[in-house]
Amino acid sequence: MKEVRVRFAPSPTGGLHIGGIRTALYNYLLARQNKGTMILRIEDTDQGRFVPGAEEYIIQSLAWVGIKIDEGQGVGGPYAPYRQSERKEIYKKYAQQLIDNGHAYYAFDTAEELEVMREKLKLAGSDNQQYGITTRNLMRNSLTIDKPDVDSLLRSETPYVIRLKVPENEQIHVNDLIRGEVIVDSSQIDDKVLMKSDGMPTYHLANVVDDYLMKISHVIRGEEWLPSAPLHVLLYQFFGWQNEMPQFAHLPLLLKPDGNGKLSKRDADKMGFPIFPLNWTDPKSGEISEGYKESGYLPEALINFLAFLGWNPGTTQEIFSMEQLITAFSIDRIGKAGARFDIQKAQWFNQQYLKAKTDEELADFLLDSLDKEQITCTREMAVKICNVMKERVTFPQDFWLQGKFFFHAPITFDESVISKKWNNDAVKVLHAFSMEVDKATGFSAEIAKSLLEQVTASLGISSGKILQALRVTLTGGASGPDLMMTMEIIGKKEVCRRINHALATLKIHAS
């Protein structure tokens, strides 16, 4: 089998969509599994849509999720340059080759003329308003204009494009690794523009030429490319490269969580989940989109989640590291149908990966959050907090968000707990408990527990009845990690202070 060389070829038109990450991932998995090469090529042939910063963003995003580029933009390689805008001359040469052997032609039609042609066809009730077999003879191109006139038009710098001359009555077979054989009649393919009037190639030409020159073995891309795959096959034939043609695999699409259609940034915004891997600021509008990273997703969790959207190992194993994915991956097990995007599953993966980390590792997250809040905390305490909280967090920032009470006395108290549990018994117990804690020589979860038992026993009140009240005085909330450990972490003095403060300010609601 020939060397596996795959490419991820995004267009730098904005933030890198999460679906793009999945495409990159499948390419990467195939490359690694076969000791092949992962190539990053930037498809920036549309100068009108170029967005500054997008290319760097793509590179950083791939790096963050752990997809390493072996060759291409940012790392270099034997087939440089890897930015298509810098390969203009190459495409020009190949386009000329197509012209020379009659597979392409010059077209001088203006945008208005094209519009008129389409309108006419529409009015005539035609299904097919393409610039192609049936219409090319009616248009202004080198097929209808005499050669001397064409030459003078070219010399006079009249804007022109180069179009592919699609053959008549041909069945074009595309062999897709995921979908099998797809057959399309050439009448369905239009005379696609290969070279634009600004001298840049279109995707179709650039993609085929580059894949050939870069010796790409597999083209793994989204299903939205399936309709133009026959056109690409045609190009390989016209260039005489059919033996070097890569294998195609058109991936099922990532769909909106509700309803139908391709997952878009709009849906993500609406449902409140990220669409981009990292924070992305639109340079035009200044709009900031929060990324997966900044939202608290771990790259390994995101990758695991994405890998399972459209592929599965055929076993019941759910958790896969990148290494395991590389081993288990196979194109045969990629599904055909689009996959709805379910952020809940992503959260579950995140939780799994977070829980698998050591307290030490988790402490880094907490310390990080605290740093931003300008709160100092010893590493030892951070480790302890993470230990008691790790079973209840989904995101790294939850340690801080759900554990603020470790650092600040509560400002408000949960109303429902107060109204239900803040009664005479609770006040009695808490008052006595606070005094006992104050008197105690040492303090720990153990000590707190036995002191509380003593107090409740001597007052004849069951501890279950007042624990909620105790929690609310300490944390302000109705739920949280183990109360005794919480007290140990908060410390003796602060425990007394918070209880006494609550005792002094809260009115008895219940009896």
Q: Taking CB under 7 A as the rule, does residue 220 contact RNA?
A: no
Alpha-carbon span 499 to 488, nearest angstrom: 14
Q: Taking CB under 7 A as the rule, does residue 202 contact RNA?
A: yes
Secondary structure element (H or E) that encloses residue 248, with its range: strand 247-251
Nearest approach in angstroms of CB 287 to RNA is 20
Q: Taking CB under 7 A as the rule, does residue 345 contact RNA?
A: yes
Cβ neighbours, 10 Å, residue 404: 17
Among 54, 95, 214, 253, binds RNA (CB under 7 A): 253
Nearest approach in angstroms of CB 184 to RNA is 5
CA distances from 14 to 201, 269, 295 (A): 20, 16, 19
Give 52 or 240: the residue with its C-beta nearer to RNA.
Answer: 52
Among 228, 397, 444, 500, binds RNA (CB under 7 A): 228
Nearest approach in angstroms of CB 374 to RNA is 27
Question: What's the half-sphere exposure (Cβ side, CA atoms, 13 Å) at 17?
Answer: 22
Give 152 or 376: the residue with its C-beta nearer to RNA.
Answer: 152
Q: Taking CB under 7 A as the rule, does residue 302 contact RNA?
A: no
Q: Taking CB under 7 A as the rule, does residue 150 contact RNA?
A: no
Q: Taking CB under 7 A as the rule, does residue 262 contact RNA?
A: yes
Nearest approach in angstroms of CB 340 to RNA is 3
* Residue closest to 247 by CA, chosen among 178, 188, 342, 186: 178
Looking at the annotation, which residues are catalytic?
265
| Sole window of 26-34, 54-62, 310-318, 488-496 interacting with RNA (rule: CB under 7 A) | 310-318
Alpha-carbon span 331 to 358, nearest angstrom: 35
Alpha-carbon span 43 to 202, nearest angstrom: 10
Q: Taking CB under 7 A as the rule, does residue 76 contact RNA?
A: no
Q: Taking CB under 7 A as the rule, does residue 483 contact RNA?
A: yes
Alpha-carbon span 417 to 439, nearest angstrom: 28
Beta sheet of 37-40, edge-to-edge order: 71-72, 37-40, 5-8, 218-222, 247-251, 171-176, 180-185
Among 64, 79, 212, 225, binds RNA (CB under 7 A): 225
* Tokens representing residue 95 in the block: 């386009």
Among 242, 358, 458, 479, binds RNA (CB under 7 A): 479
Q: Taking CB under 7 A as the rule, does residue 129 contact RNA?
A: yes
Taken in order 80, 84, 89, 94, is the CA torsion positive or negative?
A: positive
Q: Taking CB under 7 A as the rule, does residue 464 contact RNA?
A: yes
> From the centroid of its chain, how far is CA 179?
25
Q: Taking CB under 7 A as the rule, does residue 224 contact RNA?
A: yes
Which 394-453 positions form the footprint of RNA (CB under 7 A)? none
Q: Taking CB under 7 A as the rule, does residue 312 contact RNA?
A: yes
Q: Taking CB under 7 A as the rule, does residue 476 contact RNA?
A: no
Size of the site for RNA (CB under 7 A): 83
104-128: b or e for each residue (b if 16 or more CB lie within 10 Å)? bbbbbbeeeeeeebeeebeeeeeee
Alpha-carbon span 338 to 462, nearest angstrom: 57
Nearest approach in angstroms of CB 371 to RNA is 25
Among 172, 200, 499, 502, binds RNA (CB under 7 A): 200
Q: What stretches of 356-414 show up as alpha helix (H) in DSSP?
A: 359-372, 379-389, 398-401
Note the residue count of the chain.
Answer: 511
Give 317 or 376: the residue with its C-beta nearer to RNA.
Answer: 317
Among 15, 43, 59, 292, binds RNA (CB under 7 A): 43
Q: Taking CB under 7 A as the rule, does residue 255 contact RNA?
A: yes
Q: Taking CB under 7 A as the rule, does residue 81 contact RNA?
A: no
